[in-house]
Amino acid sequence: MTETPALMVEAVGVRKHFAGVEVLKGVDLKVGRGEVACLIGPSGSGKSTFLRCINHLEKHDAGELLVDGQLVGYELRNGKLYERNDKQICAERARIGMVFQRFNLFQHLTVLENITIGQVRVLRVREDAARARARELLERVGLAGRDGYYPAQLSGGQQQRVAIARALAMDPKLMLFDEPTSALDPELVGEVLDVMRDLARSGMTMIVVTHEMGFAREVANTVYFLDAGVIEEWGDPREVLTHPTSPRLQNFLSKVL
Amino acid sequence: MSTDGDGSVKVVPVRHVGRWVGVAVALVVVAMIVHTLLSRLPTGQKACQGAGATRVCHAVTEWRFSWDIVFRYFTTSEILHGLLITLELTVIAMAVGIVLGMVLAVMRLSPNRVLSGSAWTYTWFFRGTPVLVQLLVWYNIAILYPRVSLGIPFAPVSFLTLHTSTTFTALEAACIALGLNEAAYMSEIARAGLLSVDEGQVEAATSIGMVRRQTLRYVIMPQAMRVIIPPTGNEVISMLKTSSLASVISVIELLGAATNIYSANYEIMPLLLTASLWYLVVTTVLSIGQFYLERYFARGALRTPPPTPLQRMGRDVAGILAKFPSRRVVSGVVER
């Protein structure tokens, strides 16, 4: 039995290109267990791509990416990197929750079924146990009693909270949020951020791509400013967001704040 | 502004003149059709009653459309047996078509060029040649392959050998020909359905750890069905009638049974009508089934499901009844 690594996510020089365009030009990042990291930066800076590399929705081209001490998508044996097969990658991914900008709830399933399907089909949990867990999570995100609704019958904020519950049902060790409030009406942003704040307080390790600077300042342990595929500046949010040193971050903050 | 005693204002609805003209024309056409369907023709014979001075004669007439003959044959065993064969052909050919079509659609969307290329070639060939030709080819396949053996290509090894002329009946040839042809069309329908599902659904399924097969089965397919069902219903109805082509290769299905009978008694029109009426009956049943199937797979996509025909009829009646007391506007609110 190896000791549990202190870092939940460790990225060293992660690179990624799409059709000749380099989107990530060597990203370094360290997120400890139970910590919250916020990724900020202009659109097209590679924030979402980096997030998607962490759960292998995108394959990174170079660099080292470790989640919970394990290489993402590869296995190191006898000095060679072996690509993991689909089944292994899916098993890894099941323990990394992801929340999308556009919610992506399963439209043909009820709220309850959205939360049970992963437990039943992937984790092989019994149907009734899965349902009980789903109800528990719905209560936690403030949506008790909405079991039978279809996603189309809910507001954006409610859908996003169901999406968070769906991710939590997989019992994740890490949660990734890809601009979770960007598609919401302003008055609905608060209810989603409240749920995320509670989640952070409960000790969940989280990486959040966001434009909500107030949330970053309040909840994050570390803020990373990503620009043009590199981390321009990082550190304690109160420090980074109030006294930015790089001119790019100063320029960015002057636009969003 | 003139007001009634209670202070409300009478609303005068827009008069749709063009619409009323259209309704009148439609009613005339309907009346003409009903009239001709129910018309009778003189046979040239006379029927007389009584004798001598009290003898009364009148011309004998018969239905123009020979309804008596149509319905006399409607439930004869030959026609019913033909109907059974038609249904059998439709069900088997569609089953082959749907299953193979789904497989072809998934192959077509595969990132592997060999798989997508083979699926494309299949569709190209079976959609590009007339189904009647395909029926004749399968019926006469024994000319091309007197024996079918299962073995390894280019190697003198065979595991199983069948004689086609003895193993293939005309009905089986028809099932295979219609099924394989249908698969080409179904694969395009299924492909459109699979492509209609938002990429985000796949990402969400992937992110909770589903493998590709699970994503396809639990997330993509159920949502693709909403797009796949309506044109598939169309295909079933189309197949019901296309199956009549099998009469060319001596399969005695509904039309085959009708032609068999009229070639013996020369009642050509009545028997064609008998067959047509049966096709209409089955099509009606299929359409009703399709409606409920569509309604089932639309769940989640619409906030409220569409009304069933009965519910809609109820609403129409209620709507008409509500029109009778004239609508009045009271301080901007329409009251009924």
Is B313 contained in some domain?
Answer: no
Range of the domain at B54: 22-64
B55 and B201, same domain (yes or no): no
pLDDT in the model for residue B318: 83
Tally A–B CB contacts below 8 A.
81
B172 and B256, same domain (yes or no): yes
CA A44, CA A20: separation in Å to the nearest integer?
15
This prediction's pTM? 0.78
The per-residue pLDDT for range B231-247, each reduced to its tens digit, is 999 999 999 999 999 99
* Six token digits for residue B133: 């030709």
* Six token digits for residue B174: 């028809």
Cβ-defined contact of A97 to B302 (cutoff 8 Å): no
B60 and B157, same domain (yes or no): no
Residue that terminates a domain, selected from B31, B64, B97: B64
* Beta carbons of A229 and A24 less than 8 angstroms apart: yes
B58 and B122, same domain (yes or no): no
B152 and B103, same domain (yes or no): yes
Of B208, B223, B297, the CB nearest to A118: B208
Nearest CA in chain A to B202: A104
B48 and B114, same domain (yes or no): no
DSSP output for B139-166? HTHHHH-SEEEEE-TTSS-EEEEEEHHH
Is B39 contained in some domain?
Answer: yes
Looking at the complex, report in whole angstroms how far the Cα of residue A99 sits from the nearest Cα belonging to chain B. Answer: 8
Is B37 contained in some domain?
Answer: yes
The per-residue pLDDT for range B214-235, each reduced to its tens digit, is 999 999 999 999 899 999 999 9
B37 and B80, same domain (yes or no): no
Return the closest-CA partner of residue A48 out of A163, A211, A190. Answer: A211
B166 and B243, same domain (yes or no): yes
Is B124 contained in some domain?
Answer: yes
- Per-residue pLDDT 10s for chain A (257 aa) are 456 778 999 999 999 999 888 999 999 999 999 999 999 999 888 999 999 999 999 999 999 999 998 888 888 888 888 888 888 889 889 999 999 999 999 999 999 999 999 999 999 999 999 999 999 999 999 999 999 999 999 999 999 999 999 999 999 999 999 999 999 999 999 999 999 999 999 999 999 999 999 999 999 999 999 999 999 999 999 999 999 999 999 999 998 87
B156 and B280, same domain (yes or no): yes
Residues in a beta bridge with A32: A7
**At residue B285, does pLDDT exceed 80?**
yes
Of B209, B300, B303, the CB nearest to A90: B209
Mutate to test the interface with B, among A54, A90, A98 (most CBs of B within 10 A): A90
Is B274 contained in some domain?
Answer: yes
Is B314 contained in some domain?
Answer: no
Mutate to test the interface with A, among B196, B207, B215, B294 (most CBs of A within 10 A): B207
B90 and B230, same domain (yes or no): yes
What CATH number is given to the structural domain containing B222?
1.10.3720.10
Is B241 contained in some domain?
Answer: yes
DSSP output for B272-325? HHHHHHHHHHHHHHHHHHHHHHHHHHTBTTBSSPPPPHHHHHHHHHHHHHHHSS
- Looking at B197-253, list the stretches that DSSP marks H as alpha helix, in order from N- to C-terminal side: 199-207, 212-214, 221-242
B48 and B92, same domain (yes or no): no
B96 and B33, same domain (yes or no): no
* Six token digits for residue A29: 């990042």
Chain mean position to CA B296? 19
